[in-house]
């Protein structure tokens, strides 16, 4: 459900460098001496938390970084990785808490390196380490949900209005399975669900999506989406001394690998879906996230009307691709299916309540914020 399970349904070679090889790579490519490093979780890339013992070039800065070694499939599209990294740098300069790259010895933001398997090549970056606690590990409340919605809108608005790069066209990822416009592509992976009540609901989501969302896409306002603001990709810290009632603020935005051209309403739908996952009141989440989003980018009537099916569509994407992945990689099946149980429960509940009742709950909660906005 979170990015750790949201793998792409394609054949790729995940890097498998040893810790010794990773440390040597940091020294050779970036000119930094590693004090220690440890692996970080990732499905299709390989990540290490790296602590360095001092910069060889004498520059000031953080001494902890994330070494990101991209899988062989995505490494074949350097323009895409380039523009994603430049977007991170742009957002950091705009005041968003996103990582920035440490330059290679030859002054580049990334380097294509020979992999550990055959002749596979992997794009390598060293990114600043962002401290904080993933949203998945805190008890979310209305205040932080509102802030996450506000962040989602502010991020997309900044990218849409101010971000320019020669390779930005590479974000038009027509068949990218995680772009919300591509929910109908799930039909080729739905076999993995078998024949059961879950499959019937997903088929219903896909059909309604094709009938009610796809024809309206041209009326939605376009932008660049982060595309994966899930509960593990948003970090928070507490700016409150109260341990019993901490006030959280967003301290980090991770993983820009799902960036693509989309629509403002896609981003808020994705954020709502992922914030529902761990919430004790999943159907109550949407109104708070929506209120935060609309404090920056109010949705049109057409966009609001599609929100239920867009949230349902993201659930379907996550659940179907998790099931497909479990078929491809059966050793991960237990892990994938445990995580999916919550998602299936929420999707089924949404459809049992129906679009009208769910929207009423979301929109009434959001409306209440017009009279009272969180501090």
Distance CA 67, CA 18 (A): 13
Q: How confident is the model at residue 5 (pLDDT cuts 50, 70, 90)?
A: very low
DSSP 8-state class, residue 57: T
**CA angle, 91 as apex, 134 and 139 as ends, to 5°?**
20
- Best CATH choice for the domain 133-371 from the list 3.40.50.2300, 3.40.50.150, 1.10.10.60, 3.90.1200.10: 3.90.1200.10
DSSP 8-state assignment for residue 104: P
Domain 19-128 falls under CATH 3.30.200.20: yes
Closest CA to 3 of 52, 31, 41, 56: 41
DSSP summary character for residue 190: G
Q: Which pLDDT does position 31 carry in this prediction?
A: 95
**So what's the pLDDT on residue 245?**
75
Please list the residue range(s) of the chain that carry CATH number 3.90.1200.10: 133-371
Q: How far is CA 289 from CA 2, 13, 92, 151, 222, in A?
A: 18, 36, 23, 10, 20
- The two structure tokens encoding residue 303: 């966009």
Question: 16-58: per-residue pLDDT in tens?
Answer: 899 999 999 999 999 999 999 999 877 678 999 999 986 555 4
User: pTM of the prediction?
Assistant: 0.91
In the chain, pLDDT over 70 holds for what percent of residues? 89
3-state DSSP helix/strand/coil percent for the chain, to nearest 5? 50, 15, 35
- Token pair listed for 114: 């020979």
pLDDT bin (cut points 50, 70, 90) of residue 287 is very high
In this structure, are residues 16 and 118 in contact, taking their beta carbons and an 8 Å threshold? no
What pLDDT score was predicted for residue 12? 55
Tell me the pLDDT tens digit for each residue of 231-268.
Answer: 999 999 987 666 677 889 999 999 999 999 999 999 99
Q: What is the pLDDT of residues 188-223, one digit of tens each?
A: 999 999 988 899 999 999 999 999 999 999 999 999
Nearest to 321 by CA among 2, 4, 3, 7: 7
CB 209 within 8 A of CB 315: no
What pLDDT does 32 receive?
95
Q: Which helix (H) or strand (E) holds 156?
A: helix 142-162
| Strands in the chain per DSSP E | 32-40, 46-55, 64-69, 101-102, 111-114, 121-128, 133-134, 222-225, 234-238, 248-253, 260-263
Q: Would you mind telling me the total number of residues written for the chain in this entry?
A: 375
pLDDT(302) > 60: yes
**C-alpha 188 chain-centroid distance:** 23
d(CA 323, CA 6): 10
Domain with CATH 3.30.200.20 in the chain: 19-128
- Which residue of the set 6, 74, 156, 228 is catalytic? 228
Whether residue 228 lies in the annotated active site? yes
Higher pLDDT, 152 or 332: 152
Which DSSP string do the residues of 264-311 spell out, in sequence order?
A: HHHHHHHHHHHHHHT-SSHHHHHHHHHHHHHTTSPPPHHHHHHHHHHH
Give the residue among 204, 242, 216, 50 at the shortest CA–CA distance from 127: 50
């Amino acid at each position: 459900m979170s990015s750790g399970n949201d793998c792409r349904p394609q054949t790729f070679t995940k890097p498998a460098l040893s810790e010794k090889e990773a440390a040597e790579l940091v020294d050779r490519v970036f000119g930094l001496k590693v004090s220690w490093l440890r692996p970080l979780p990732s499905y299709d890339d390989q990540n290490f938390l790296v602590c360095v013992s001092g910069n060889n070039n004498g520059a000031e800065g953080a001494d902890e970084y994330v070494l990101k070694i991209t899988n062989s499939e995505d490494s074949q599209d350097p323009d895409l990785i380039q523009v994603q990294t430049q977007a991170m740098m742009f957002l950091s300069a705009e005041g968003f808490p996103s990582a920035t790259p440490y330059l290679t010895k030859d002054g580049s933001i990334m380097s294509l390196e020979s992999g550990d398997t055959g002749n596979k090549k992997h794009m390598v970056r060293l990114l600043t380490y962002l401290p904080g606690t993933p949203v998945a590990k805190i008890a979310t409340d209305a205040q932080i949900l509102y802030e996450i919605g506000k962040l989602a809108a502010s991020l997309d608005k900044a990218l849409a209005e101010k971000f320019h790069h020669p390779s930005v066209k590479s974000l038009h990822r027509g068949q990218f399975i995680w772009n919300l416009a591509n929910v109908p592509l799930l039909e080729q992976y739905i076999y993995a669900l078998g024949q059961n009540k879950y499959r019937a609901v997903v088929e219903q989501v896909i059909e309604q999506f094709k009938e009610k969302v796809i024809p309206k896409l041209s009326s939605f306002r376009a932008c660049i989406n982060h595309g994966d603001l899930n509960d593990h990709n948003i970090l928070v810290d507490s700016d409150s001394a109260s341990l019993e009632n901490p006030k959280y603020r967003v301290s980090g935005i991770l993983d820009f690998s799902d960036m693509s051209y989309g629509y403002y309403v896609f981003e808020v739908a994705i954020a709502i879906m992922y914030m529902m996952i761990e919430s004790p009141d999943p159907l109550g989440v949407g109104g708070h996230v929506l209120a935060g989003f609309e404090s920056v980018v109010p949705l049109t009537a057409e966009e609001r009307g599609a929100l239920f099916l867009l949230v349902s569509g993201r659930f379907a994407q996550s659940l179907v691709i998790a099931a497909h992945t479990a078929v491809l990689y059966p050793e991960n099946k237990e892990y994938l299916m445990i995580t999916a149980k919550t998602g299936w429960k929420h999707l089924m509940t949404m459809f049992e309540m129906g679009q009208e009742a769910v929207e009423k709950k979301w929109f009434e909660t959001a409306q209440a914020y017009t009279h009272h906005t969180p501090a």
